[in-house]
Each structure stands twice: as structure tokens, then as C-alpha cells.
Amino acid sequence: MIDQNIKIAVDGIVFGYEKGILYVLAVQQRFGKLTNQWVLPGGFVKDDEPLLAAVERELKEEAGITVNYLEQLHTFGDDIHRDDRFRVISVAYFALVNPQNFVLKADTDAKDAKWFPVNQLPALGYDHSDMVKLAHQRLKNKLTYQPIGFDLLGEEFLFSDLENLYCCILERDIDRRNFRKKILSFGIVNETDKVVKIGASGRPGKLFTFDKLKYNQLMKENFQFDIRFA
């Protein structure tokens, strides 16, 4: 019989987007050898707890947030010394939220919770920097074949906001004219009658909404969301 002493943990890489900046949520450790160091929200899985429930609980307890989109990213455990206390295997999830929908509230073993620009993250404890890098790359890839970017915007948005979001996450310019034509051709973005002023010039711009019901219906018909950039 094999004698095991392995603990299972979950960690959440939560991306937020606001005003052209992609953010990552981090929490400050309250206890232990990493006291005051920034890490990803997460913790150990309870014996009777599903993995998804565990990461949802940790996000709520340590940062006060709930998320609608969670996807399992990767299992981290090849480095048997990733945690110097004992052997820990962590299942990482990534999530997308609009930061404006939340007021962060650190609790339990988190001393503080804060949004950091993805390119200005402090040194993270454990192997959490590797988790963020992998999640960021996954986000870039998925953005071209699944409309997950809408989870980072408000219910109503300027089309330029959607364009800027893609530029920000992909870290490159896009052909905005072709992008707009492609997105509208899918029939999953609706133009509203609402108009807001754009920028210092104050020129009017129409607001749009993402039709999630229409998208879900199209998916049942083998619809392919495909945004490729040369």
C-alpha cells in the first residue's frame, strides 16, 4: 500500500478589465511564512467539496467576489517543492469579471485584496506568477474562438470598447473595420437606441449589447465564433 500525504488546493486567476487595462486579482497573505506577500486567492479543498465549489468559496471568502465564468486551467504539481510546508497539488481556474460590479473585501486568511494591472503585478508567492502567465495566454487564445470578452464589459458598451478590449488582451492592434464587420455579421451583438458622448470631442456613439440567448441558440446549431487576426 502506498502511503500518501498530499493535499489538494485550488487557486483562482481572476481577470478584470476597465478603461483599456487588463487586471488580475491578488490577495495579501495574513498568516504563515508568506505573511504580507501577494498571492492568488485560493486554498485547500475540503474532503467533501467539489473543486469548483472550493474555488468559488475561496474567491468569496478571501476577496468577497462571485463569478459567472470559471474554467479549469491546469493542474500544478510537477514541482514537488512548490509549497515548502508539504506536498500540494493545485488545480488552477481562471475567471473573467467586470471590476465595477464588485467591492473587494478581504477576509479569512487574506489581509487585503487588490486589482493589479497584469503587466504590473508584484512578485507573487509560490508558482502563482506561472499560473497568471498561462491563464493570460489561454485568455488570448480563447478570445479568438469564443466570445468570452463580453464578460469583461458592462451590459451596454460602445463598440470601440469591445475593439479596445481585444487590442488590450491580445497586446496588438487590430483592423477595426474588418473586426466590426465580422462581429456584427454573427448577429450576436445588438445596437441599442442609446447614445453617449465619446472622448473629449463629445461625438455621439451608439451603445451595444451582447445577445447571450441568441449566441446559446446558435451554438446548438454548430455555430462557429471565429475571429482570426493575420
171 is in which domain, residue-wise?
147-219
Complete DSSP assignment for 138-177: HHHHHHTTS-GGGGGS-SSEEHHHHHHHHHHHHTS---HH
Same domain, 122 and 153: no
**13-17, 52-56, 201-205: least confident range:** 201-205
- Say if residues 149 and 142 touch (Cβ distance below 8 Å): no
Residue 80: predicted pLDDT: 85
Same domain, 114 and 72: yes
Distance CA 75, CA 187 (A): 37
Same domain, 111 and 212: no
Give percent of the chain with pLDDT exceeding 70.
Answer: 97
Count of domains observed in the chain: 2
What CATH number did the domain enclosing 121 receive? Answer: 3.90.79.10
Same domain, 122 and 166: no
Domain assignment present for 135: no
Domain assignment present for 118: yes
Domain assignment present for 141: no
Same domain, 23 and 65: yes
Using left for φ > 0, alpha for ψ between -120 and 50, and beta otherwise, residue 222 falls in left
Those residues whose C-beta lies under 8 Å from the C-beta of residue 37, and which sit 6 or more positions away, are: 28, 29, 123, 124, 125
| Mean pLDDT of all residues belonging to the chain | 90
Residue 29 backbone dihedrals phi, psi, to 5 degrees = -65, 140
Distance CA 58, CA 189 (A): 34
Same domain, 15 and 120: yes
* Residue with cell string 508558482: 127
Those residues whose C-beta lies under 8 Å from the C-beta of residue 122, and which sit 6 or more positions away, are: 26, 38, 116
The band of 19, judged by pLDDT with boundaries at 50, 70 and 90, is: confident
Comparing 111 with 2, which gets the higher pLDDT? 111
What CATH number did the domain enclosing 169 receive? Answer: 1.10.10.10
User: What is the average per-residue pLDDT within 169-173?
Assistant: 90
User: CA-CA distances (angstroms) from residue 165 to 1, 6, 33, 90?
Assistant: 53, 40, 38, 30
Same domain, 20 and 92: yes
Same domain, 46 and 85: yes
Same domain, 153 and 190: yes
Span 47-68, pLDDT tens digits: 999 999 999 999 999 999 998 7
